[in-house]
A and B are shown apart, each in its own frame.
Chain A
């Protein structure tokens, strides 16, 4: 089953001069597939990821997510789609520093509002346990180490049981031991929970271990 699919996505940066950053991107990702995107700086891989994530809407072409067309929908609907179907992990951890770890993980589910507060809390504990940081649940997010924070943000990405997890260099800011950890978590999620993952990375070792590598150069997919 195809989770994410694009047809002929093109994007231009118009400021300061017209620059054709993405050229006819067509790709698809199956359920349970662990895909990495590689390429040099400036080849457009992050730009592509933000289009796929629905946060960037300034492009032409079609984007399908979980069987539905996403392109051209209003921002408000896109926010709901992101909330429900997409989990994010960034290079920097982006937790809300004043909230506890548990609150951070719970926020997207509380926004979705499909479960009661109690159920969400239980879910959040489960996700934190899955990532081995349950004992940090009541700490403030700002008190954790970098590796722990990244695991919290993975737990947050998982809270709404999304169709796909997207990561923009999620290990880019971590040491090798923590990188290894994060990779193993992703691998487990993909193989055991049949979750799709799309990770932009610079790290050749990381990419080599994924199911498929999409390589980009000058705004095109080359392999």
Chain B
């Protein structure tokens, strides 16, 4: 038989008559949860940004022709030599085309695959940027700019001009920032590009591209696929690279294996191409969780301490409650509910504090070469953090309150009443 109204009234009176202690306990939780939210929002935002950098540069599956020696040499195919120990010295790479054989049907085949979010085709040409008598080494990638913008956030890396202007001009080029700086060129200027076959093409700069990696920016530029094919003197079926983006990145290794096997091409998945990528993300997440949980545990100890003290101060009250007919479990409920209320109010304020904190960080200026379009710190406002935060606040305060409350439950009223 428990009358919860009475229990709650006692709980509430205890809490609001010692507002200072209650507030200190609640503030502990508030800071714990607030910091948790800020840490999670900030770290996950940053993770997202860094992952984005990798993902924007690396397709989930990259298909190309790699120059390499034939794996199966003719001698191994001849039955006469089976079981012999065959050694072939000075194996040379097989002469093969850079272009992907039957690229266009392959692309339309890939586009039909349910796992695939998008496919972009590239034609890469090695060129020289010509500036008077000086020739700079360069690579010109022929791309479908709209696909590239859609799948790889290409637009974020164009610091001057725009990607769309490439569509309007067949002889437009998005010049690498490093090349532009070296040659003192800017948007609307002209640049001459010479190809290995000896042709010289005048192109018009419609934008400047900056990836943040000097190595790339000093060499790489982008044009339309058609332009690249013209530079190479090839037809419209010349495609050197196919980049595939999947809905689920986890399927990439499986798909790469499939493609390699069925099309006799080299297909590399992102996990192989960028092994450090996942390691970094998971370690950063681990650190974030470890620090946040430590904070919450410290807050829990604060509550434990304060309730413990409260129970010592309230020995007389506990004795009188028990003498007048409140059972041990009633007394326990009184103190546990105090802890839960502290946890709930503190936790809720913590969520608000965390939200305000993340909004402030979200507006703090943050400029990076690597991400020219990012102007402020990245923040992830995932509602999951808020759910985890309040849940953890409730659980930790419940535990912190339960231990002292159990002590109160077991207090022998006779000892206290007679002890006076």
Residues of A within 8 A of B (CB): 46, 50, 53, 55-56, 75-76, 79-80, 82-84, 88, 90-92, 94-99, 103, 107-108, 110-113, 117, 156, 160, 168
Q: Which residues of A sit under 8 angstroms from B76, Cβ to Cβ?
A: none
Per-position binary interface string of chain B over residues 294-324, scored 1 when its CB falls under 8 Å from any chain A CB and 0 otherwise: 0000000000000000000000110111111
Are B317 and A55 within 8 A (Cβ)?
no
The complex places the Cα of A92 from the Cα of B315 at a distance, in Å, of 14
- Tell me the count of chain B residues lying within 8 A, CB to CB, of chain A: 29
Among B151-159, B234-242, B250-258, B326-334, the stretch that binds chain A is B326-334
Q: Which of A80, A94, A98, A103 contacts B325 (CB 8 A)?
A: A80
Q: Which of A84, A94, A168 contacts B319 (CB 8 A)?
A: A94
What is the interface of chain B mostly: helix, strand, loop, or mixed?
A: helix
Question: Which chain B residue shows the least CB distance to A79?
Answer: B327
30 contacts between A and B (CB under 8 A): A46-B418, A50-B417, A50-B418, A55-B413, A55-B414, A75-B328, A76-B329, A79-B328, A80-B325, A82-B323, A83-B325, A83-B326, A88-B323, A94-B316, A97-B317, A98-B13, A98-B14, A98-B17, A99-B13, A107-B10, A107-B324, A108-B325, A110-B9, A111-B3, A111-B6, A112-B3, A113-B3, A113-B6, A117-B5, A168-B417
Q: Which residues of B sit under 8 angstroms from A168, Cβ to Cβ?
A: 417
Are A110 and B3 within 8 A (Cβ)?
yes
**Which of B1, B322, B328, B329 neighbours the largest number of chain A CB atoms within 10 Å of its CB?**
B1
The complex places the Cα of A30 from the Cα of B257 at a distance, in Å, of 95
Given contacts A82-B324, A96-B321, A110-B9, 19 further A-B contacts (CB under 8 A): A50-B418, A55-B323, A55-B413, A76-B327, A79-B326, A80-B327, A83-B324, A88-B323, A88-B324, A94-B320, A96-B10, A96-B13, A98-B17, A103-B13, A107-B10, A108-B325, A110-B3, A111-B324, A156-B324
Are B325 and A82 within 8 A (Cβ)?
yes
The complex places the Cα of A79 from the Cα of B2 at a distance, in Å, of 11
The complex places the Cα of A190 from the Cα of B5 at a distance, in Å, of 33
Per-position binary interface string of chain B over residues 1-30, scored 1 when its CB falls under 8 Å from any chain A CB and 0 otherwise: 101011001100110010000000000000
Q: Which residues of A sit under 8 angstroms from B328, Cβ to Cβ?
A: 75-76, 79
Q: Which residues of A sit under 8 angstroms from B13, Cβ to Cβ?
A: 96, 98-99, 103
Are B325 and A111 within 8 A (Cβ)?
yes
Q: Is B420 an interface residue (CB 8 A)?
A: yes
Question: Which chain A residue shows the least CB distance to B409?
Answer: A75
The complex places the Cα of A41 from the Cα of B216 at a distance, in Å, of 96
Give B13 Cβ to nearest chain A Cβ, in Å: 5
Q: Which residues of B sit under 8 angstroms from A95, Cβ to Cβ?
A: 320
Give B304 Cβ to nearest chain A Cβ, in Å: 22
The complex places the Cα of A55 from the Cα of B319 at a distance, in Å, of 10
Q: Which residues of B sit under 8 angstroms from A94, Cβ to Cβ?
A: 316, 319-320, 323, 417
Are B420 and A91 within 8 A (Cβ)?
yes
